[in-house]
């Protein structure tokens, strides 16, 4: 039988047994905590509130690892770690402290992510367009939290965070120049979130790109064009280019010109103008505040009647239906009056 006071690698058998017991105890505690929190999760799923589900799902795994680290810390505390020529005891203590901080931040990040996803789901039901910006805010907060965790861990390991930040400030110009596009895109996403120039689902035009906004990330905005192609726009471009948001139009404009031959009698032209005005006035889907129907030009080969009006709706499908009714109504009036439409120069006459 081996005496308990005999030493192995600088520790007695009793210390080794206690350290192993502490390590196994930590592992057992981790397993029990996972099992208990999993059971609690099943009960929480039966409640109406989503808060308890999010909290239990977020803390379950990190709490288990905290229990294991507690046992590991206890085991390392029991064992006489050498302090010379290298202070292993101090290094292990600082390392375990940093690992505990990381696990704590990991748990907090999981909570933020869980609540962020819940907010995103709610936003998709209440305001689908706004929901596209929730992931941007969620990811930004998570990145900031991990940066804080790294700085705190380095501080606990004995590094001077103040000196590190000063060194980054003095020697990080090259890094900043290399990452300036990435930083500009992240700033662009922040500007989009604050200004709310558009939301996911809006019909926009940026420069020569026109389509429906599908996704907004920290770096880019993705737009689905009407040709069904997807265009990726760097967010930095959205801070320097004008953004035309068609979805936010209060009304839509109908504007067109009608060319009639010069041989059309003036009385018929006047009658045509009057009938078009009456047609617009009778349409309940058109606004009455601004309607213009005038003989606008004596062209090289024909007379030109300009028509301008606005729909009460901004919906694209509804707009096309109303425009169809107006154009078809004008054609019928011209057929009733016996007025022909002028053909472009060089077009052979219809037979």
Cα 34 from chain centroid?
A: 34
Please tell me whether residues 131 and 278 are part of one structural domain: no
Do 157 and 210 sit in the same domain of this protein? no
Q: Are 253 and 289 in contact (CB under 8 A)?
A: no
CA angle 287, 290, 295 (to 5 degrees): 125
* Same domain for 264 and 134: no
Of 241, 242, 198, the C-alpha closest to 216 is 198
Within the chain, residue ranges assigned H as helices are: 13-44, 51-78, 88-126, 134-156, 161-171, 173-178, 180-195, 266-282, 316-337
Phi-psi region of 9 (alpha: psi -120 to 50; beta: other; left: phi over 0): left
The backbone torsions φ and ψ at residue 295, rounded to the nearest 5 degrees and listed phi first, read -75, 110
Range of the domain at 241: 198-245
Question: Does 345 fall in a domain?
Answer: no
Residues 15 and 163 in one domain: yes
Q: For residue 287, what is the domain's CATH number?
A: 3.30.70.100
| Residue 103 placed within a domain | yes
Torsion angle of alpha carbons 321, 323, 327, 329, nearest 10°? 60
Q: What are the tens digits of pLDDT across the range 13-45?
A: 777 788 888 888 888 888 888 888 888 877 777
CB–CB of 106/62 below 8 Å? yes
Number of domains forming the structure of the chain: 3
Same domain? For 159 and 209 the reply is: no
pLDDT, tens digit (0-9, with 9 covering 90-100), for 115-168: 877 777 776 666 555 555 667 677 777 777 777 777 777 776 666 656 655 555
214 and 110 belong to one structural domain = no
Q: Per-residue confidence at 170, pLDDT binned at 50, 70, 90?
A: very low
Mean pLDDT of 36-59: 79
pLDDT digits (tens, 9 = 90+) for 196-239: 788 888 888 988 888 998 888 777 889 999 889 999 888 888 87
Task: Tell me if 33 is assigned to some domain.
Answer: yes
Q: Are residues 162 and 219 in the same domain?
A: no
Query: Does one domain contain both 20 and 103?
Result: yes
Higher pLDDT residue, 234 or 331? 331
Dist. CA 98–CA 345, nearest whole Å: 83
Could you tell me if residue 214 is inside a domain?
yes
Nearest-CA neighbor of 221 among 171, 257, 186?
Answer: 186
Residues 214 and 88 occupy one common structural domain = no
Which DSSP category does 48 fall into?
S
205 shares a domain with 103:
no
Alpha carbon distances (Å) from 48 to 38, 52, 108:
18, 10, 23
pLDDT of 8 over the 60 cut: no
> Which of 123, 150, 178 finishes a domain?
178
Whether residues 321 and 261 fall in one domain: yes
Q: Give a yes or no: residue 187 inside a domain.
A: no
Same domain, 119 and 18: yes
| Domain CATH code at residue 203 | 2.30.30.60
Per-residue confidence (pLDDT) for residue 74, from 0 to 100:
79
Give the end of a domain, one of 146, 178, 210. Answer: 178
> Is 95 inside a domain boundary?
yes
pLDDT interval class at 5 (50, 70, 90): low
Does residue 291 contact residue 306 with C-beta atoms inside 8 Å?
no
- Determine, yes or no, domain membership for 348: no
């Amino acid at each position: 039988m081996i005496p308990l006071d005999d030493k192995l690698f600088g520790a007695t058998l009793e210390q080794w047994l206690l350290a192993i017991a502490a390590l196994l105890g930590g592992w057992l505690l981790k397993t029990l905590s996972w099992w208990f929190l999993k059971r609690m999760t099943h009960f929480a799923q039966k409640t109406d509130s989503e808060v308890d589900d999010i909290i239990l799902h977020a803390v379950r795994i990190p709490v288990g690892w905290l229990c294991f680290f507690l046992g590991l810390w206890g085991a390392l505390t029991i064992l006489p770690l050498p302090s010379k020529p290298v202070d292993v005891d101090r290094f292990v203590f600082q390392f375990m402290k940093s690992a505990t901080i990381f696990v704590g931040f990991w748990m907090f990040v999981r909570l933020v992510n869980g609540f962020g996803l819940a907010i995103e789901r709610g936003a998709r039901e209440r305001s689908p367009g706004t929901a596209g910006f929730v992931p941007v805010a969620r990811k930004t907060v998570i990145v900031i939290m991990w940066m804080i965790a790294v700085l705190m861990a380095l501080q606990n390991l004995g590094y001077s965070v103040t000196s590190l930040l000063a060194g980054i400030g003095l020697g990080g110009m090259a890094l900043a120049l290399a990452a300036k596009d990435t930083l500009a895109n992240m700033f662009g996403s922040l500007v989009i979130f604050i200004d709310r120039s558009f939301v996911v689902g809006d019909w926009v035009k940026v420069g020569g790109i026109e389509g429906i906004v599908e996704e907004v990330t920290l770096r880019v905005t993705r737009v689905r064009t009407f040709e069904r192609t997807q265009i990726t726009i760097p967010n930095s471009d959205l801070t320097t280019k004008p953004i035309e948001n068609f979805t936010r139009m209060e009304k839509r404009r109908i504007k067109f010109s009608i060319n009639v031959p010069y041989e059309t009698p003036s009385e018929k032209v006047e009658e045509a103008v009057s009938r078009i005005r009456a047609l617009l006035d009778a349409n309940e889907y058109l606004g009455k505040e601004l309607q213009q129907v005038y003989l606008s030009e004596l062209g090289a080969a024909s007379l030109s009647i300009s028509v301008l009006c606005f729909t009460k709706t901004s919906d694209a499908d509804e707009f096309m239906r109303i425009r169809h009714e107006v154009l078809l109504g004008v054609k019928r009036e011209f057929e009733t009056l016996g007025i022909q439409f002028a053909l472009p120069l060089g077009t052979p006459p219809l037979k």
